[in-house]
């Protein structure tokens, strides 16, 4: 493809490509994101491709392998335009039917439509589905009609027009003013106002500056950055170009963890395409901006998501944070002023520049503007990526979009913001998703992970899980994080194994306070949050573990015993056969008993018992 030398050439190319696309009558958009690939979407894609060529439809049907659509629970998903027909859980065996009925005859295959589990109603169109209806998808919707490996797709859908607008007459100061008035705040976790960061970086005196995109997402259960980067890498590049122009940087890095192979691959392809088109390099589109981007792969350390550790890692050093008494916007990568933003923050930039700050600021609350992508996971019906306007109550996300708990259990809490966030109980579900409101409640929006827990989750065990994660991922440089978390885990392990003492709760609180005030980096400072928030809202569970030596949720193995309800037991003998410890005895047709000495509490008998006769207390 030819190098573009001016804005007019880009517009011309866009028009040309649009005309070329008009020959296609039908477009099928199938998700090729990591989530759907795990549900075998690649074999579905292959099957469609071969079926289309077999039926001779390659000239009229366009197959577009896109990034994540969001509804990962129902994967692989596809959308067929025109008609906005939504098929879910498609298998290679269904492909013939889809091609023959939908593409050739224009009929809908009822069997593959999304069916609501509660009402039993089928939905034909994607936009009608309750999961999508309650969302406000500004960034994720751009994933739908763009093949991440095709810069043409991005240009056709209006890509790089924000860049041309900016380069053809918006001064860097005006960009920063626009970003400031939009109220955009960092989506990576801290919620720092992006405009302020940019203006500080612009004002820092240095000839050389850097911009970095932080795609080192490592929170358990969170994957929105991955989906945006692997689904629409050119959007990130465009955002970074605008940022580079605003702060005066000439070099950018995308720091992406190597565990995201698709994101690494797609961003590499995107950078290569952009270089070929002259969208990266010297004098981009004939303007004064010279900018290039490199992909830096991370080894997958959680701590490398912290700004100074990330920069050390890009420099090729050990990924460890350093004291931040001088901010990275002044002294960052290679000791030069550096603007580091999260993937989602960069993704918001082009739309703000194109549609204006007032459009962005019209969504959201007083302190938090725009939309936020949340990764909804856990004991919930519709898991997946959800994008809602800031200020949406947690209840709407969990119940209206998420569809409530699985197996008819009651929802107990939601963990927001990953290991740095906290657990909020169900009576706090009316709180809005807003940086300040959630921080006040002891949790945080964070990167946007949302793990829903039902009554079968023990909150002490949840705190233990996060502490184990943090202990593994702590870099070990400073004392409070390395030794403090270790001691907290020691205490919590004592509590879950029945050795807890009442004064240990106070010690936990004091230790948590010490760590949060003295740790070296942001991750260490927020590391005690899972313990602080569970102590705040679920103190009674801690007390039950310590005083009564009981785990109310029946999770902590040392504090529970299994028994068989003689009323319900029919003596079928299934549990007797599956128990590997031979702890269950009894005659046929007579109620069985469990020898608690031998019982390992593995739970196999519970899952096998058809009569719900095994009790945990």
Task: Tell me whether residue 148 or residue 218 sits nearer to another protein (CB atom).
Answer: 218
Task: Tell me whether residue 44 or residue 475 sits nearer to another protein (CB atom).
Answer: 475
Whether the ω angle into residue 82 lies within 30 degrees of 0, i.e. cis, is yes
Residue 478 found at the interface with another protein (CB under 8 A): yes
Q: Residue 304 Cβ, how far from another protein at the closest point, in Å? A: 11
Q: Residue 477 Cβ, how far from another protein at the closest point, in Å? A: 6
- Nearest CA to 141 among 236, 66, 218, 240? 66
Cβ count within 10 A of residue 324: 15
Q: Residue 315 Cβ, how far from another protein at the closest point, in Å? A: 16
| Per-residue tokens: 110 | 């009822």
Q: Residue 205 Cβ, how far from another protein at the closest point, in Å? A: 17
The alpha carbon dihedral of 267, 254, 31, 25 has a sign of: negative
Residue 257 found at the interface with another protein (CB under 8 A): no
| Per-residue tokens: 373 | 């992508």
Q: Residue 490 Cβ, how far from another protein at the closest point, in Å? A: 7
Residue 476 found at the interface with another protein (CB under 8 A): yes
Beta strand 292-298 with 251-257 is: parallel
What b/e string do you get for 535-561 counting C-beta neighbours within 10 Å, with b at 16 or more? bbbbeebbebbbeeebbbbbbbbebbe
Q: Residue 254 Cβ, how far from another protein at the closest point, in Å? A: 24
Q: Which residues in the 555-574 window bind another protein by CB under 8 A?
A: none
Q: Residue 494 Cβ, how far from another protein at the closest point, in Å? A: 10
Q: What is the DSSP string of 516-529?
A: HHH-SSHHHHHTTH
Residue 471 found at the interface with another protein (CB under 8 A): yes
Q: What's the CA gap between 219 and 57, in Å, rounded?
A: 43
Task: Tell me whether residue 57 or residue 489 sits nearer to another protein (CB atom).
Answer: 489
DSSP-derived letter for residue 351 is: H
Task: Tell me whether residue 28 or residue 491 sits nearer to another protein (CB atom).
Answer: 491
Q: Residue 527 Cβ, how far from another protein at the closest point, in Å? A: 11
Which strand (E) or helix (H) includes residue 298?
strand 292-298
Rg (CA), the chain: 27
Q: Residue 257 Cβ, how far from another protein at the closest point, in Å? A: 15
Q: What's the CA gap between 428 and 441, in Å, rounded?
A: 8
Instruction: Please check whether residue 339 is in contact with residue 249, taking contact to mean a CB–CB distance below 8 angstroms.
Output: yes
Residue 483 found at the interface with another protein (CB under 8 A): yes
Q: What's the CA gap between 467 and 471, in Å, rounded?
A: 6
Task: Tell me whether residue 239 or residue 319 sits nearer to another protein (CB atom).
Answer: 319
Compose the 286-325 pattern: x for residues touching another protein by CB under 8 A, - for all others.
---------------x-x--------------x---xx-x
DSSP-derived letter for residue 320 is: -
Q: Which residues in the 78-117 window bind another protein by CB under 8 A?
A: none
List 36, 284, 390, 475, residue binding another protein (CB under 8 A): 475
Q: Residue 510 Cβ, how far from another protein at the closest point, in Å? A: 7
Q: Residue 335 Cβ, how far from another protein at the closest point, in Å? A: 14
* Choices 47-55, 59-67, 481-489, 594-602 (CB under 8 A): range interacting with another protein: 481-489
Instruction: Please check whether residue 45 is in contact with residue 78, taking contact to mean a CB–CB distance below 8 angstroms.
Output: no
| Per-residue tokens: 360 | 């962005």
* Choices 189-197, 260-268, 404-412, 482-490 (CB under 8 A): range interacting with another protein: 482-490
Site size toward another protein (CB under 8 A) is 30
Q: Which residues in the 502-531 window bind another protein by CB under 8 A?
A: 507, 510-511, 514, 517-520
| Per-residue tokens: 423 | 């657990």
Instruction: Please check whether residue 231 is in contact with residue 143, taking contact to mean a CB–CB distance below 8 angstroms.
Output: yes
Task: Tell me whether residue 478 or residue 531 sits nearer to another protein (CB atom).
Answer: 478
Instruction: Please check whether residue 541 is in contact with residue 458, taking contact to mean a CB–CB distance below 8 angstroms.
Output: yes
Task: Tell me whether residue 407 or residue 472 sits nearer to another protein (CB atom).
Answer: 472
C-alpha distances out from residue 420 to 11, 517, 522, 531, Å: 45, 14, 9, 10
Instruction: Please check whether residue 184 is in contact with residue 369, taking contact to mean a CB–CB distance below 8 angstroms.
Output: yes
Task: Tell me whether residue 351 or residue 475 sits nearer to another protein (CB atom).
Answer: 475
Residues near another protein (CB under 8 A) are: 301, 303, 318, 322-323, 325, 471-480, 482-484, 486-487, 490, 507, 510-511, 514, 517-520
């Amino acid at each position: 493809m030819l190098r573009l030398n001016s804005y007019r050439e880009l517009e011309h190319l866009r028009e040309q490509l649009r005309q070329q696309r008009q020959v296609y009558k039908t477009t099928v958009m199938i998700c090729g994101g990591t989530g759907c690939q795990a549900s075998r979407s690649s074999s579905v894609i292959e099957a469609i491709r071969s079926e289309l060529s077999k039926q001779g439809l390659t000239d009229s049907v366009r197959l577009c392998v896109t990034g994540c659509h969001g509804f990962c629970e129902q994967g692989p998903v596809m959308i067929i335009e025109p008609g906005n027909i939504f098929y879910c859980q498609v298998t290679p065996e269904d492909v013939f039917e889809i091609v023959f009925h939908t593409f050739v005859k224009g009929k809908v295959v009822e069997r593959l439509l999304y069916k609501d589990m509660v009402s039993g109603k089928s939905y034909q169109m994607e936009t009608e589905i309750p999961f999508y209806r309650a969302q406000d998808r500004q960034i994720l919707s751009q994933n739908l009609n763009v093949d991440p490996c095709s810069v043409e797709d991005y240009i056709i859908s209006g890509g790089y027009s924000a860049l041309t607008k900016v380069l053809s007459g918006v001064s860097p100061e005006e960009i920063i003013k626009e970003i400031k008035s939009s109220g955009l705040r960092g989506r990576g976790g801290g919620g720092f106002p992006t405009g302020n960061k940019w203006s500080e970086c612009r004002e820092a005196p240095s000839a050389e500056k850097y911009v970095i995109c932080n795609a080192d997402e490592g929170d358990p259960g969170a994957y929105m950055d991955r989906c945006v980067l692997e689904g629409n890498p050119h959007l990130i590049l465009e955002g970074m170009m605008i940022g580079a122009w605003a702060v005066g940087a000439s070099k950018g890095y995308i720091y992406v963890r190597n565990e995201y192979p698709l994101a690494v691959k797609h961003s590499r392809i995107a950078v290569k395409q952009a270089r070929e088109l002259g969208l990266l390099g010297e004098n981009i589109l004939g303007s004064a901006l010279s900018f290039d981007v490199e992909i830096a792969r991370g080894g997958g350390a959680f701590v490398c998501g912290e700004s100074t550790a990330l920069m050390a890692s890009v420099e090729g050093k050990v990924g460890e944070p350093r004291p931040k008494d001088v901010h990275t916007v002044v002294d960052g990568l290679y000791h030069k002023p550096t603007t580091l933003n999260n993937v989602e923050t960069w993704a918001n930039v082009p739309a703000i520049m194109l549609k204006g700050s007032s459009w962005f600021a019209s969504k959201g609350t007083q302190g938090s503007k725009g939309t936020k992508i949340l990764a909804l996971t856990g004991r919930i019906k519709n898991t997946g990526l959800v994008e809602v306007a800031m200020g949406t109550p947690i209840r709407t996300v969990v119940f209206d979009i998420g569809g409530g708990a699985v197996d008819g259990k009651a929802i107990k809490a939601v963990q927001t913001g990953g290991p740095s966030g906290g657990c909020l109980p169900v009576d706090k579900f009316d709180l809005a998703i807003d940086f300040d409101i959630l921080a006040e409640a002891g949790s945080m929006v964070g990167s946007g992970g949302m793990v829903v827990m039902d009554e079968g989750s023990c909150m002490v065990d949840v705190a233990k899980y996060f502490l184990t994660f943090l202990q593994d991922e702590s870099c070990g440089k400073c004392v409070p994080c390395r030794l403090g978390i270790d001691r907290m885990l020691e205490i919590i392990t004592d509590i879950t194994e029945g050795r807890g003492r009442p004064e240990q709760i106070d010690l936990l609180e004091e230790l948590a306070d010490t760590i949060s005030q003295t740790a070296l980096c942001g991750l260490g400072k927020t590391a005690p949050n899972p313990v602080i928030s569970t102590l705040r809202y679920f103190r009674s569970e801690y007390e039950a573990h310590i005083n009564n030596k009981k785990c109310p949720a029946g999770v902590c193995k040392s504090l529970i015993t299994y028994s068989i309800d003689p009323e319900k037991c029919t003596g079928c003998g299934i549990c007797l056969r599956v128990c590997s410890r031979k702890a269950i005895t009894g005659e046929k047709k007579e109620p069985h008993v469990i020898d608690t000495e031998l019982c390992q509490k593995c739970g196999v008998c519970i899952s096998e018992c058809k009569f719900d006769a095994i009790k945990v207390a």
